[in-house]
Structure 1
Amino acid sequence: MKEVVFSPNKNKIEEVPYYKPIAKEVEVFTHSYKQKLPFLLKGPTGTGKSRFIEYIAHELGKELITVSCHEETSSTDLIGRYIIKGAETTWIDGPLTIAVKNGAILYLDEIAEARPDVIVAIHSLTDHRRELFIDKLGKTIRAHKDFMLVASFNPGYQRGFKELKPSTRQRFVAVSFDYPEAKIETEILVNETSIKESDAKKLVNIANKIRNLTELGLTETVSTRLLVDAAKLIESGLPKRLAVHVAVVEPLTDDLEVIKALKDLCDLMI
């Protein structure tokens, strides 16, 4: 049996990701990292959770390993598995094991989507033990001193469907993310896409108007990510109304009446 060893730092982020702090999240994360406390990012989709962790990993000069969790994500996917190569069996480390060994930041995006055995697998890494038990190898690995576990969670979307248990939540330092105030969101659009400030303000006004229309019953509302997409299309030359329709309105819903209502609203505001 052969064990494959991965070299560290292959996932370091070389370019500086643009991120605009909106509260004390950078300061809180920095102190949590020093104390090696697991970190939970809470908030709606498209509010900058993934961008934040990319930014902070770059600032710290640390390797970042990201796993986008879904309903089929299992502990085996994270820890590793045996594969057959020719006549021999080889063990391949999973992203969690690589991060634990190399001292990387492991980011579990939408952790509540993963199977329950994933939560069980990380429990011993989120308390004083900081250990990973690999059942298939019969090994317990002590986490590298620089290892840090970060997860994200969308409470609004998951409520009543898949939620993190209190026993899991209380293992993390947690910070809530939300949509930035209008001035900051406008600045983000301008920096991300080079769109005119006047057009960026219009997009932000549209977003805030839709965010307040709770009677529409939207599962998710307009994220900053959708606004960035619309701004990119406008900046590339697509007509503004069409750009807003395809990048903001259509992704929000499949209900034809709601689409029409949102389109009319956006057309007026553009």
Structure 2
Amino acid sequence: MTQLPEETRQLLNENRHDSPAFADLVRAGGYKPPEDAMLIDAVTALSMGKNILLKGPTGSGKTRFAETLSHLFHQSMFQINSSVDLDAESLMGFKTLDYEDGKQVIRFVPGPVTNAVKNGTFLYIDEINMAKPETLPLINGVLDYRRTITNPFTEEIITAKQGFGVIAAINEGYVGTVPLNEALKNRFVVIDIPYVQGDQLKQLLQSDSQLQDGTILDLFVRLSGDLIQAVDQGKLSEDAASIRALLDACDLSAMIPPKRAIRRAIADKLEEDREKTLVLTMADTLFG
């Protein structure tokens, strides 16, 4: 189990998650979920020793949500960026030659899993379904009731220290991903992460981008809604509606015309010309 700091526990226990104090606490972590229930459920699961899987489209804020949870628990967090090249060394660490008292020795350099388990911190696994299916079973033991893992390089059996918790993120159906096997998926509590929209998106853009013109920010919020709708209709790929890309466009718009900023930060990242044209048409409609 992971101990929840007193100020966070008090605000949750008193059902004051909509209070200014709690809003300030969450904002300091960098992300305010669209629904309070998402935050409450994630905090509850982690405090009970559960692992959580954040499921949502690319750019919806899953990593920022994980960082906010780390902040709420006053926990540091080791991170794994999954890919097809992820292997046991990337997870657990590796052996290297070193010198001690003038003699050559073999030293083990711990990886993110080893560090998180031994230090009792959070472990964040980004895009977990990008990893090869044969790699992830290595950590199954530390994800269930055993809370132990065997280091294949040192044969050490490590028991997770109090405070250890796992947060993973997944983009289902994204290029290069594979379905999670049931044994792994069953070790997580799943929380869906939708795109941030409306007033909440405007607040995020105001706080996290260099653009402060309220009128232009409103137009970017409308653009985001149009992009999300086009993604839902299959007209655009998920990359087009990324909040990360939208923030880049807002930053650039503080210095250059918005339509040009949208081209650089959003449209030109897309692969298909028809998608680029659609995004630029949306921008022209809104920004003239």
Report TM bin, short chain: 0.7 to 0.9
Deviation at 1:215, TM superposition (A): 4.7
Matches within 5 A, 1:243-262: 243-251=261-269, 253-262=270-279
Greater mean alpha carbon deviation, residues 207-216 or residues 147-156: 207-216
Deviation at 1:92, TM superposition (A): 1.1
> Is 2:243 the partner of 1:234?
no
Query: Which residue is 2:83 aligned to?
Result: 70
Query: Which residue is 1:220 aligned to?
Result: 239
Aligned pair partner of 2:204 in 170, 185, 188: 188
In 2, Cα distance between equivalents of 1:183 and 1:37? 32
Deviation per CA, 1:28-75, whole angstroms, max 9, x where unpaired? 122112211111110011111111111111121111111111110112
Greater mean alpha carbon deviation, residues 178-187 or residues 218-227: 218-227
Query: Which residue is 1:60 aligned to?
Result: 73
The letter for the 1-side match of 2:71 is H
CA 1:40–1:220 in structure 2 vs 1: closer, same or farther (change >3 Å)?
A: same
SS state of the match for residue 221, structure 1?
helix
Q: How many residues align?
A: 253
Deviation per CA, 1:225-256, whole angstroms, max 9, x where unpaired? 11111111112x111110111112112x2222
Query: Which residue is 1:9 aligned to?
Result: none
Deviation at 1:198, TM superposition (A): 1.8
The letter for the 2-side match of 1:74 is D
The letter for the 1-side match of 2:53 is L
CA contact (8 A) 2:57 2:238 kept: no
Query: Which residue is 2:23 aligned to?
Result: none
Greater mean alpha carbon deviation, residues 193-202 or residues 28-37: 193-202
SS state of the match for residue 218, structure 2?
helix
Deviation at 1:207, TM superposition (A): 2.0
SS state of the match for residue 271, structure 2?
coil
In 2, Cα distance between equivalents of 1:101 and 1:242? 49
> Is 2:179 the partner of 1:166?
no
Identity of aligned residues (%): 25
In 2, Cα distance between equivalents of 1:128 and 1:257? 50
- Aligned-residue Cα RMSD (Å) equals 1.9
CA contact (8 A) 1:43 1:156 kept: no
> Is 2:161 the partner of 1:149?
no
The letter for the 1-side match of 2:69 is I
SS state of the match for residue 156, structure 1?
coil
Moved >4 Å (runs of 4+): none
In 2, Cα distance between equivalents of 1:191 and 1:217? 27
Matches within 5 A, 1:204-215: 204-213=221-230, 214-215=233-234
CA contact (8 A) 1:17 1:54 kept: yes
Aligned pair partner of 1:46 in 49, 56, 59: 59
CA contact (8 A) 2:58 2:238 kept: no
